[in-house]
Amino acid sequence: MLIAGNWKMFKGPAETAGFCLELRRADVSGIEVVVCPPFVSLATAVQLLAGTDIAVAAQNVHWDADGAFTGEVSAPMLRELGVYGAIVGHSERRQYFGETDETVARRTEAALAAGLSVIACVGETETQRERGETEDVLRRQVSVLPADEQLVVAYEPVWAIGTGKSATADIAQEAHGFIKSLLDVPVLYGGSVKPDNAAELLAQPAVDGALVGGASLDVDSFTAICRASIRS
């Protein structure tokens, strides 16, 4: 069971330090926990979580090792910092920053080749679900991902992200089962995971963990979700 906190564009280095010190004191033993701060806070998180089992991942990664790519960060640079992995293809990157299945594939392959773990995000929009296109969308998004031991997929229905409208356990189970039929990898659920719905979602047999946005920003709610994963 893997619980990853996607901080999005929240918490600079000072806030990150406070969060990590508090997280160190919380008991999350026995759970695979990952935090994903913004690039500028990665070094702080790596330093302050050193010696714990809590891993640190980035929220994006470029496909080249270096080059004229203003504003991007490469996999070897993240490795040098001691970062363990990266999220790739989050729906916010697809929606606001022109991420496509092709760039998701390139980022994923480069990150894996450099020794990073990857959490690759897939998921349908509300309109796509209403039109009955969910499986087509998932098939297309998953088809570009390589089978790799260091790859985890996060099923994040776009309509559930930041809306407070989580998928039902049945919807999550069905989508995860479909993704696993395409690619044999662990699948995390993401989209409005909170302490009060985590146990039910995580109890589904095809749900291997959670990618948590808003509720990962507070140590108490994040650790409550981590602990719910033990009971599930």
CA-nearest of 53, 30, 55 to 232 is: 30
Q: Shortest gap between Cβ of 207 and ligand PGA (angstroms)?
A: 14
Q: Taking CB positions, which residue lies at the least distance from ligand PGA?
A: 213
85 vs 213 by CB, closer to ligand PGA: 213
| Count of chain residues binding ligand PGA (CB under 6 A) | 13
- Closest to 24 (Cα-Cα) out of 223, 212, 228, 224: 223
Q: Are 58 and 81 in contact (CB under 8 A)?
A: no
Tell me whether residue 89 or residue 213 sits nearer to ligand PGA (CB atom).
213
- Are 215 and 160 in contact by the 8 Å Cβ rule? The answer is no
Residue 156 a catalytic site member: yes
- Under rule CB under 6 A, residue 95 binds ligand PGA: no
Does position 156 bind ligand PGA by CB under 6 A?
yes
- Smaller CB separation from ligand PGA, 73 or 215: 215
For strands 32-36 and 2-6, give the pairing: parallel
When asked if residue 119 is in the footprint of ligand PGA (CB under 6 A), the reply is no
User: CA-CA distance, 221 to 54, in Å (whole number)?
Assistant: 16
**CA 207/CA 73 separation, integer angstroms:** 30
Length of the chain: 232
> Is residue 77 near ligand PGA by the rule CB under 6 A?
no
Q: Residue 89, interface with ligand PGA (CB under 6 A)?
A: no
Say if CB 207 and CB 174 are below 8 A apart.
Answer: no
Q: Which is nearer to ligand PGA, 63 or 189 (CB)?
A: 189
Minimum gap (Å) between residue 165 Cβ and ligand PGA:
9
Minimum distance of ligand PGA from residue 210's CB (angstroms): 8
Residues 194-223 that bind ligand PGA (CB under 6 A): 211-215
Q: How far is the CB of 213 from ligand PGA (least distance, A)?
A: 2
State the catalytic residue, choosing from 99, 109, 124, 156.
Answer: 156
Query: Smallest distance, Å, CB 66 to ligand PGA?
Result: 28
Give the distance, in angstroms, between the CA of residue 181 and the centroid of all CA atoms in the same chain: 20
Q: For residues 172 and 120, give the distance between their C-alpha atoms in angstroms, rounded to a whole number.
A: 16
Of residues 182, 194, 181, 224, the one with CA closest to residue 33: 224
Whole-angstrom distance, CA of residue 13 vs CA of residue 10: 10
Supply the residues annotated as catalytic. 90, 156
Footprint on this chain of ligand PGA (rule: CB under 6 A): 6, 156, 161-162, 190-193, 211-215
